[in-house]
Amino acid sequence: MIRINLLATGPRARAVAGEWDLRVQAGGMLALVMLAIGTCLVWNGMLNSEIEAKELDKQTKTQEVAALQQQVKQVGDFEKKKKLLEDKTRIIAQLEKARGGPVRALDYVSQSLEPLKLWLVKLNLVGTRIEVDGRALTNNDIVAFVNNLRGSDYFSDIQLLESRSGTQGQFTVYHFRMNLTLKG
C-alpha cells in the first residue's frame, strides 16, 4: 500500500500554519475590539438614560421648590394679615375699655354726690387715677362726699388735697381738689 501524505511538510507547511495562526489572531483581535466598542456603546446608552433621568428629576424638584416657595409666600402673607388683624382687635378692645373708663368713673362719682349741695367743676381721668375739682356749700358737704367715696367699692387711695373758702356771685362756697384711684 502506498501512502500518500496530503499534509504539507517542510517549509511550505510552516508558512501555511503561520498564516492560519495570524488569521486566528487577527480575527480574535477584531472580535475583542468589536466587543469593546459594543460594551462602550451599551455603557454610553446607560449613562445617557441615567443623565436624562437625573435631568427629569431635577426639573421635577425645581417645580416642587417653586410651588413650595409660593406656599411659603402665601403663609407669610397670611401671618402678616393675622398679626395685623390681632393688632386691630387688641386696639379696638383697648379703645372699648378706655371709652367706658371715663363714663364709669363719672357714674361712680355722681352716685357719691349729694344733689344741690356739691357740684364738680373738673374731672380728669388719667389711667385709673382721677383728679377732681369741685365746689360745695359747706365744708361738711365736702367731708360727706369724701366719706361717701371711701364707703364705695369703686375707689381707693382718696386724698383731699385742698379745701378753701371763696365766693361765687353772692354766695360763699368751698373750693376743693382731690385725687382718687378707680378700682378694677
Contact between 149 and 112 (Cβ < 8 Å): yes
101-117 per-position pLDDT tens digit: 666 666 666 666 666 67
Q: Which three cell numbers stand for residue 67?
A: 410651588
Entry pTM: 0.46
DSSP secondary structure code for residue 2 in this structure? -
Q: Which three cell numbers stand for residue 140?
A: 361738711
92-102 per-position pLDDT tens digit: 888 777 666 66
Name 176's Cβ contacts closer than 8 Å, sequence gap at least 6: 132, 133, 134, 135, 136, 142, 160, 162, 163, 164
> What are the start-end ranges of the E strands in the chain?
118-126, 129-136, 155-168, 171-182
Q: Name the percent of the chain lying above pLDDT 70.
A: 79
| pLDDT value, residue 89 | 93
Q: Which residues pair with 179 in a beta bridge?
A: 131, 159
| pLDDT value, residue 113 | 66
17-73 per-position pLDDT tens digit: 556 677 888 899 999 999 999 999 999 999 999 999 999 999 999 999 999 999 999
